[in-house]
Amino acid sequence: MTRSDKEKFMSAALDEAKKGWGETHPQPMIGAVLVESGKVVASAHIDRSGSRCPEAKLFESLGRSPAKTASLFVTMEPGPSSNRLESGVRAIVESGVKHVFIGAHDPVVEHEGKGSDALKEAGVQVERRIRIEDCEDLNLIFNHWINHKTPILAAKSATTLDGKIACRTGESKWITGEAARQNVMLWRRLFPAIGVGAGTLIEDDPRLTSRLDGEEEWCGVRFVIDGLLRTAMERFLPAIYTDDFRDNTIVVTTDAAGTGYIRRLETEGVNVWVLPAANMKVPFPEFRKKCYDVGINGIYFEGGSKLTSELLHMRELDYHFNYRAPILLGDDKAKPVYRGMRIEKLSHALRLDRVRNETYGDDQLMRGFVSYPPRLDVDETVFSNE
């Protein structure tokens, strides 16, 4: 089998895994396909229940013994982190398949290779690292959760070529085109939670749901970062405090907020997290811990400049999505996406690692993990949980 063939069939396994997009938490997305005579004859993925490994489901759906020359392609190595070390390996060995191709390894370094070793000991030929970068990228939320024991905090921005998110008048709809906005909806569907700051909620009153073409509107957990409960002071409450999904809304505030406003929100059926803080700003380390305690493993922030900049300043942003449109404002008073940093050398700039570049219509998406420079001075006055 050529390298091109191997990559093609692993692509099929990736497509199968993505059928569980946003539905497998806290388990990873995993897909498997069985190939006989150059054709996929069976496939399976981890579904919403996550109760059975895809390998066992695949062989059951096949309804017969695999051909002697059959090959199995699976996007993640059976291992302790995904609770498939025994069940996945057993299903493969009992099937009689002798050729297995694996994409990503187990995300815990100490576990890497255990599944492969178990298969080899049973007489199965194993080849790893087929489209490994794509297979690892598929589970960036799960991998971060397993390795760091904390939810991944990601932020999305949509900017002009010169890094602006709105005109000086505040007009921002729409910087990117429909294809890019649909991709945002796809990521909203993957992350178990979406977050905004108080300023964005007051100005834009967003729904914070995933609305993919041809699919029913979906709503995960919706976080509002509001250190002083400004959003509860409004005469008319934002829509996410009163709509059909309001039970999914959690306002994160501090003990500096007024108890009367907390009661107003709770009366509407909105959940409120009150975190201890030294000032009016929501402490993100405490927020992370609370999310971990309740099992929320990823938050997709769509806040404005202040919230995104504060996450960067506090070194709390793990991952960044930057959509860029072929629009140029060239206006010093247009609203920038980031501010508050004092970068005097390029070597001190924040960078993205493991970068992925994608194109949606005329727009570009660059996304990756945030890599931080040595500690730098910042203008503290620009940060206020908005």
pLDDT at 228: 92
What HEC string does 332-353 produce?
CCCEECCCCECCCCHHHCCEEE
DSSP line for 287-349: HHHHHHHHT--EEEE---HHHHHHHHHTT---EEEEEE-S-----TTSEES--SB---SGGGS
Q: How far apart are CA 11 and CA 368, in angstroms?
A: 21
Every domain of the chain and the residues it spans: 3-139, 150-382
| Packing angle, helices 114-121 and 87-95, rounded to 10 | 30
Closest CA to 282 of 156, 386, 131, 159: 386
**Topology of 150-382 in CATH?**
Dihydrofolate Reductase, subunit A (3.40.430)
* pTM higher than the cut 0.85: yes
Give CA angle at 229 (226, 232), nearest 5°. Answer: 125
- 93: which residues sit within 8 A by CB, 6+ positions away? 119, 122, 124
The dotted CATH code for 3-139 is: 3.40.140.10
pLDDT in tens, the chain (386 residues): 999 999 999 999 999 999 999 999 999 999 999 999 999 999 999 987 666 799 999 999 999 999 999 999 999 999 887 778 789 999 999 999 999 999 999 888 788 899 999 999 999 999 999 999 999 999 999 999 999 999 999 999 999 999 898 898 888 888 999 999 999 999 999 999 999 999 999 988 999 999 999 999 999 999 999 999 999 998 889 999 999 999 999 999 999 888 999 999 999 999 999 999 988 899 999 999 999 999 999 999 997 788 999 999 899 999 999 999 999 998 988 888 888 777 888 888 899 999 999 999 999 999 999 999 876 555 444 444 44
